[in-house]
Structure 1
Amino acid sequence: MEGNKGILLESGTNELEIVEFSIGNNKFGINVIKVKEIINPINVTHIPHSHPNVEGIIELRGEVLPLVDVAAALGFPRSQDPKQDKFIVSEFNKQKVVFHVHTVTQIHRISWDQIEKPSDMYKGSDSQVIGVIKLHGEMILLLDFEKIVVDINPESGINVQQLKKLGVRERSTKRLVVAEDSSLLRKLLSDTLAEAGFHQVEFFENGRDALLYLEDLAQSNRDISESVQIVITDIEMPQMDGHHLTKRIKGHPKLSKLPVIIFSSLITDDLRHKGQMVGADGQVSKPEIAELVLLIDKYIL
């Protein structure tokens, strides 16, 4: 995987590459930019009384990393042929985690608009599936690896307590637009932004819906800054990702001056340039909500 970094997609194209892997007979996907490398299984040190989804820890080039059994996290049976298994070494949310899967098959390049949002009818409130990809007559499920990690360690998620140190704030006149596909994170962001004094927030499930809303506002004769003061967007979203949303906003004659902050688990030193290329005014890694709020203040106060 390290050798593939140079051929990764240009920012803002609304495309992504996914690594396809399997658990049993089911096919799943992980965004390539979360993947550092894929290795064969190595010695695992088991930790007493650890979370049932954590197999233990491994040592990789001097680093001690947690190993998560994806089959256990999804409620599937363990591997029947461990010799064929793979370890996916990933990095997001400023942390490295290794995921134990059964096989790794290939990399697919697709557009975000090919990814369907899973229906509430079948996904359930605790589902780790964030998208469904229909490819070559089969379905690949895009997994929410952030949720898998937060289910194991809730402290790694967004925490309203981080905002207590900012004290009492009054921001009720400020209007925000937030694009975030996770219903859980939309609720957490709603609560935390309200705690920070922001009560006028419009939430959208993906970049496409957020852009349509902003374009409708831009068609009016009003100054856009009177209706919206800032846009906050995730990167990974079905239909339209946050990089493409940012690029479209910055290329729009009436929206271009609107500040855009990317708030994503994919903000790392290696990937920050992608947001810069599409014109993002700021980038904050999840779950640093206090840092996000301070950056919002910088651009709209």
Structure 2
Amino acid sequence: MAGILDSVNQRTQLVGQNRLELLLFKLGGRQRYGINVFKVKEVLQCPNLTSMPKRHPFICGVAHIRGQTISVIDMSLATGGRRIQDVENCFIVITEYNRSTQGFLVSSVERIVNVNWESIQPPPVGSGKASYLTAVTEIEKELVEILDVEKILHEIAPISADVSEKIIDQKAAVANEGRAIMIADDSSVARNQIKRALTPLNMEIHLARDGKEALETLRNLAETHDPIHDWMPVIISDIEMPEMDGYTLCAELRNDPKLNKLHVILHTSLSGVFNQAMVSKVGADNFIPKFNPDELAEAVQTAVEQALSATK
């Protein structure tokens, strides 16, 4: 298991090809789960865990790994299942989400599989808001569930989505009236966080659950708003999304004469292993790691002002 991620830095060639690699794991039962390899820093046998006073019920302790103290979250318990037993024979998946490092306790880790984003589908209809699924796919005729890790982390340590008063420019908010912005993200938690952060900018906010839905919506809007970039100057897109990832969405926008002037901000939790060269390759304008509401709101307002200046 120690070498399962040794070649992670060589996997960046998948980026921009609408492909990803999933690390498959189990939580005590037969069900398989997946997590994007790009968010995984390390997989290791569970070390001795130190108990924490007044810790969140989902946190089973802290681990001291390579000079760093990391909170370890029981992935099964955090998603509504039973507490994982026989911890000493389990594994910790060390990840980096939203500018922080955390560990997830899982029962077993299987292997890494290469899949196409087109085969990653949104959660089944009826899964409900309480579901921890962000997507599903089929591997070897078995359903693999991809968990909404951002939702898990938000429930343990909520992130404020409020923007500082110093960031809000009332004159700019007045100037923004009548304009719109698109947010594309497969996590309902992330969409709501971004929406709350940008609401003070006084723009009409359109939401999409993945890149494909965003692209179809933008193409439809472009038929009634010409040129669309005057009305909707900015789009914020996650990178990891079912059916069409953010890189592919950006490339599609740049190849569409009606959409190629949209200012694209890639906003993702893939901060630890992000390939900056790919941003330029697909034609994105900016990259912001999740989640700092001030930084995001300021970047959006700057992009809007630049777009408005260009049209004068």
Q: Which residue of 2 aligns with 1:31?
A: 36
**Which deviations, in whole Å up to 9, do the C-alpha atoms of 1:216-255 show, x marking residues without a partner?**
3445793232342111111121111111101111222332
SS at match of 2:301: helix
Partner residue of 2:83 out of 74, 78, 86: 78
* Secondary structure of residue in 2 paired with 1:125: coil
1:237 to 233, 241, 249: 241
Q: Is the 8 A contact 1:9 1:15 kept in 2?
A: no
- Paired position in structure 1 for 2:275: 271
The more displaced of 251-260 and 284-293 is 251-260
User: Pairwise mapping of residues 280-299 of structure 1 onto structure 2 (< 5 A)?
Assistant: 280-299=284-303
Moved more, 24-33 or 173-182: 173-182
Would you say how many aligned residue pairs link Structure 1 and Structure 2? Answer: 296
Contact (CA 8 Å) 1:158, 1:286: kept in 2 or not?
A: no
SS for the counterpart of 2:14 is coil
* Residue aligning to 1:159: 161
Contact 2:41–2:96 at 8 Å: present in 1 too? yes
1:250 aligns with 2:251: no
CA 1:221–1:179: 2 relative to 1, 3 Å: closer
- Determine if contact 2:185/2:238 at 8 Å carries over to the other structure: yes
How far does the alpha carbon of each residue in 1:121-147 deviate from its partner, in whole angstroms, 9 at most, with x for none?
1x2322221111122111110011111
User: Residue in 2 aligned with 1:213?
Assistant: 217
More displaced stretch, 203-212 vs 213-222: 213-222
1:257 counterpart SS class:
coil
The amino acid of 2:230's aligned partner reads: E
Query: Deviations 1:247-284 (Å, cap 9, x if unpaired)?
Result: 11122233222210011111346433333331210111
Deviation at 1:105, TM superposition (A): 0.3
The alpha-carbon distance between structure 1 residues 237 and 158, as it changes in their structure 2 partners (threshold 3 A), is farther
Return 104-113 or 207-216, whichever deviates more. Answer: 207-216
Name the % identity: 30
Q: CA deviation at 1:53?
A: 0.5
Aligned-partner Cα distance in 2 for 1:201–1:270: 27
SS in 2 for 1:280: coil
Which segments of 5 or more consecutive residues in structure 1 lack a partner in the other structure? none
Task: Confirm or deny that 1:17 pairs with 2:21.
Answer: yes
1:47 Cα deviation from its structure 2 partner: 0.2
Picking from 151, 175, 179, the partner of 1:174 is 179
Aligned partner of 1:159: which letter?
A: A
- What is the TM-score of this pair, normalised by structure 1? 0.91
Match of 2:205 among 197, 201, 209: 201
With normalisation by structure 2, the TM-score equals 0.88
Cα deviation for residue 196 of structure 1 reads 2.6
Residues 213, 53 of structure 1: alpha-carbon distance in 2 compared, 3 angstrom cutoff = same
For residues 233 and 270 of structure 1, do their structure 2 counterparts lie closer, same or farther at Cα, with a shift above 3 Å needed? closer
Amino acid at match of 2:26: S
C-alpha displacement of 1:194: 1.5
Which residue in the other structure is 1:184 paired with? 189
Counterpart amino acid of residue 205 in structure 1: R
CA distance change for structure 1 residues 260 and 130 in 2, over 3 Å: closer, same or farther?
Answer: same
| Unmatched 5+ stretches in structure 2 | 306-312
The whole-number CA distance in structure 2 between the counterparts of 1:75 and 1:285 is 28
**CA distance in structure 2 between the partners assigned to 1:267 and 1:83 by the alignment:** 30
Please tell me whether the aligned partners of residues 161 and 194 of structure 2 are also in contact (alpha carbons under 8 angstroms): no
Q: Hey, what does 1:143 align to over in structure 2? A: 147
Supply the distance in 1 between the matched residues of 2:181 and 2:195 (Cα, whole angstroms): 11
- The Cα of 1:88 is off from its aligned counterpart by 0.5
Residue 63 (structure 2) aligns with = 58
Distance 1:187 1:50 in 2: 26
Q: 1:66 to 1:80 in 2, by over 3 A?
A: closer
Specify the SS of the correspondent of 2:7: helix
Distance 1:178 1:45 in 2: 40
Q: Note if 1:112 corresponds to 2:117.
A: yes
Say which SS state the counterpart of residue 222 (structure 1) adopts: coil
1:79 deviation in Å? Answer: 3.4
Cα distance in structure 1, aligned partners of 2:157 and 2:223 = 45
Give the equivalent residue in structure 2 for 1:3.
Answer: 7
Question: What does the per-residue CA deviation read over 1:58-99, in whole Å, with 9 as the maximum and x for residues that have no partner?
Answer: 111111111111121123223344343111111121110011
3-state SS of paired residue (1:164): coil
